[in-house]
Amino acid sequence: MSVNKYHPHVLVLPEDDANRQLANGFLLDQ
């Protein structure tokens, strides 16, 4: 949800488009 930098979080910097889509999959499954 909204960025709350005081909560624990993971920042994903995907190295390419395929990895970006994988990261989306994890976020949708939350």
Partner 1 sequence: MISRLYVHNFRCLENFELPVAGKSSALLIGNNGSGKTTVGLALRILQRIARGMNQVGNLVKPKDFFLGRTDAPMRFEIEVNLEAKTYGYAIAFALSEGSKELRVLEEKLTVGGNPVYTRKMGQVHLAGNGHAKDAKFPIDSALVALPIVAQQSKEDPLSIFKQWLARTLILRPMPSLILGGSEKETLRPNPEVTNFGAWFSGLLVSAPSAYTKIDEYLKQVMPDLKDIQNPLVGRDARSLAVKFSNKKGNVTLPFEDLSDGEKCFMVCAMVLAANDAYGPLLCFWDEPDNYLALSEVGHFVLALRRAFESGGQFIATSHNPEAIRRFSDENTLVLYRKGHLEPTIVRPLNEIRTSGDFSGDLVEALVRGDLEP
Among the listed residues 8, 10, 13, 30, the single contact to partner 1 using CB under 8 A: 30
10: left (phi over 0), alpha (psi -120 to 50) or beta: beta
Closest separation between CB of residue 10 and partner 1, Å?
13
What is the amino acid identity at position 14? P
Contacts of partner 1 in 6-25 (CB under 8 A) = 16-17, 20-21, 24-25
Cα 15 from Cα 22, distance rounded (Å): 11
Residue 19 corresponds to which tokens in the numbers above? 């990895």
Closest separation between CB of residue 28 and partner 1, Å?
6
Closest separation between CB of residue 1 and partner 1, Å?
4
